[in-house]
Amino acid sequence: MSKTKTSFFCQNCGTQHAKWVGKCSACGEWNTIVEEVIQKEEKRNWKQTSTAKKVSKPIKINEIDTQEEDRIHTHNKELNRVLGGGLVKGSMTLLGGEPGIGKSTLLLQVALSIPKNILYVSGEESQAQIKMRAERLNAKNSNCHILTETKTQNIFASIEELQPDVVVIDSIQTLHTDYIDASPGSISQIRETTAELIKFAKETATPVILIGHITKEGTIAGPKILEHMVDVVLQFEGDRNYTYRILRAQKNRFGSTAELGIYEMQNTGLREVENPSEILISEKDESLSGTAIGATLEGMRPLMIEVQALVSSAVYGTPQRSATGYNIKRLHMILAVLEKRAGFRLGAKDVFLNIAGGISVDDPAIDLAVVAAILSSNEDVAIPQDYCFAAEVGLAGEIRPVNRVEQRILEAEKLGFSTIIVSKFNKIAKKNYTINVVPVSKIEEVFTKLF
Ligand code: TYD
Ligand code: MG
């Protein structure tokens, strides 16, 4: 008889501890240690019938054959692009995103558009609910099978019967395996069910797509090792107030993470947005002075951010300076640089700065957009809406290079900007952009280029 064993896991990083502690020694988080039942019998294969263990042998790298056609095209251009050309056979893809952002919709739509045998496993919705959603999406694939099940052993039984080409799991947090007693969604369950699914994917060369819930901090719920275990981590994000959604790869073993896919949520599902500038242009009817777009990076992710500035004559003796979402000291510095190095008389003006969308930016690459917005408001001349900026401003009024400028340029290009202003000192390797890359070295140069 097996004895019930428990262990302590950090809910943040997944580290196993021998006893309960207040602070995880691995990641330093407080109050994240939770006791979980682990009851491991001997390790089983995903296929209960095959008990004979396959031993893999080392092969010379030249002898491993890879065929180009090892990818399944998803009939969804944006998803294909983000994946680097389609679903790689035997790969494990994790799709994360906030509740209600459209993860289930996206994957159901994909499942309905691939003309292959698909198994869509849902632990969250009933078959009837999924059918209703599929009707709204009006896509037809009579070979898409819906299974509502949460136990991996039962899922594998259906898989053996159906032999699907692609398996979609909605969501990994609802699955549980018999070999572990912990509740679904706990660290050990997620780890174990993912491991079983990976084994299945690799052995049968079937791509598996998992949906993962995210925590309130915006990372995928469960152990961090979940992201290490899978081949591709996709993030589906967007603003509730807007209908567009952005799909990015945070990790991709088979392609670049610089690509992104853009969708628009409509009442008939997600529409692929091929020309992203349409979203940007529809936001404003006319050019307004005092706004500029900065190409920033948030962690690993590129993000285009709108900076708004208002410069007006100070009514009271001491001019006011206020910044929302931007460091006020940095604003003071930029104003001093504009005054001293570029000769703009801003000393007697009120300056208000706002980063649109309630975002707070630390990336120094937004500096040039801040300068442009201030100058635009001061001159009362609008900056063309399809211009954006990515550079830091130094104390001598010089335009300094920023890191990963290529990624910013690619993002700006993808989002439909016509021109990006960067530092002359940024080494840009790839030259065949469709976007116009304008290098500048001084604030005066920016001024003459814009106004
Ligand atoms: P869903 O895919 O259920 O989100 P997730 O799985 O990420 O939690 O998306 C649900 C939202 O999408 C819901 O708020 C309504 C909206 N939606 C549409 O606007 N149009 C549609 O055709 C569908 C199916 C959903
Ligand atoms: Mg869902």
Residue with tokens 């790298």: 61
Q: Do domains 71-272 and 279-450 have the same CATH topology?
A: no
Residue 269 beta carbon below 6 angstroms from any ligand 1 atom: yes
| pLDDT higher at 322 or 385 | 322
Two structure tokens written together for 122: 């849902």
Asked whether the beta carbons of 412 and 368 are under 8 A apart, the reply is no
| Strand residue runs (E) in 314-378 | 321-324, 349-355
Asked whether the beta carbons of 189 and 224 are under 8 A apart, the reply is no
**Cα dihedral sign for 416, 421, 423, 429?**
positive
Residue to probe by mutation, ligand 1, list 242, 265, 266, most atoms within 8 Å of CB: 265
Chain-centre distance for alpha carbon 247: 6
Closest to 36 in 3D by CA, of 230, 185, 251: 185
Ion ligand 2 — residues with CB under 5 Å? Answer: 104
pLDDT at site 367 = 95
> Can you tell me which atom of ligand 1 is nearest the CA of 101?
7
Residue to probe by mutation, ligand 1, list 94, 105, 122, 172, most atoms within 8 Å of CB: 105
How much of the chain exceeds pLDDT 90, in percent? 44
> Can you tell me which atom of ligand 1 is nearest the CA of 105?
2
pLDDT tens track for 5-38 = 788 888 878 888 888 999 988 888 888 888 887 7
Q: Residue of the nearest CA to atom 11 in ligand 1?
A: 100
pLDDT at site 357 = 62
For residues 321 and 149, give the distance between their C-alpha atoms in angstroms, rounded to a whole number: 58
Q: Residue of the nearest CA to atom 9 in ligand 1?
A: 102
Average the pLDDT over 288-295 and give the result.
Answer: 90
pLDDT tens track for 335-382 = 999 999 888 999 889 999 998 766 678 889 999 999 999 999 999 999
Point out which residues pair with 97 in neighbouring strands. Answer: 213, 236
Asked whether the beta carbons of 351 and 319 are under 8 A apart, the reply is yes
pLDDT at site 119 = 94
Residue 358 beta carbon below 6 angstroms from any ligand 1 atom: no
pLDDT at site 365 = 94
| pLDDT higher at 189 or 220 | 189
Which ligand has the shortest distance to the CA of 98?
A: 1
Residue 133 beta carbon below 6 angstroms from any ligand 1 atom: yes
pLDDT at site 111 = 92
What is the DSSP code string of 414-442? HTT-SEEEEETTS-------SSEEEEE-B
In one-letter notation, the amino acid at residue 89 is K
Average the pLDDT over 324-344 and give the result.
Answer: 93
Chain-centre distance for alpha carbon 125: 25
Two structure tokens written together for 38: 């682990």
Length of the chain: 451
Count CB neighbours of 176 within 10 A.
22
Centre of ligand 1 from the C-alpha of residue 129, in Å: 12
Q: Residue of the nearest CA to atom 13 in ligand 1?
A: 100
CATH superfamily of 71-272: P-loop containing nucleotide triphosphate hydrolases (3.40.50.300)
pLDDT at site 239 = 67
> Can you tell me which atom of ligand 1 is nearest the CA of 97?
7
Two structure tokens written together for 424: 């002359």
Centre of ligand 1 from the C-alpha of residue 323, in Å: 36
| SS3 letters across 290-308 | CEEEEEEEECCEEEEEEEE
What is the DSSP code string of 184-227? TTSHHHHHHHHHHHHHHHHHHT--EEEEEEB-TTSSBSS-THHH
Give yes or no for residue 51 having a pLDDT over 50. Answer: no
Q: Where are the domains of the chain?
A: 1-41, 71-272, 279-450
Q: Residue of the nearest CA to atom 14 in ligand 1?
A: 100
Two structure tokens written together for 433: 């952009």
Q: Say what the pTM is.
A: 0.70
Q: Residue of the nearest CA to atom 16 in ligand 1?
A: 102
Confidence tier at 104 by pLDDT (50, 70, 90): very high
Helix axes 152-162, 187-204, angle to 10 degrees: 20
Two structure tokens written together for 87: 């679903």
Point out which residues pair with 309 in neighbouring strands. Answer: 353
Residue 104 beta carbon below 6 angstroms from any ligand 1 atom: yes
For residues 422 and 407, give the distance between their C-alpha atoms in angstroms, rounded to a whole number: 12
Chain-centre distance for alpha carbon 183: 28
Residue 97 beta carbon below 6 angstroms from any ligand 1 atom: yes
For residues 440 and 445, give the distance between their C-alpha atoms in angstroms, rounded to a whole number: 6
pLDDT tens track for 226-285 = 888 899 999 998 766 667 788 888 899 988 887 778 888 888 989 988 765 555 444 666
> Can you tell me which atom of ligand 1 is nearest the CA of 243?
19
Average pLDDT, whole number, for the chain?
Answer: 85
CATH 3.40.390.10 fits 279-450, yes or no: no
Centre of ligand 1 from the C-alpha of residue 244, in Å: 12
**Cα dihedral sign for 282, 284, 286, 292?**
negative
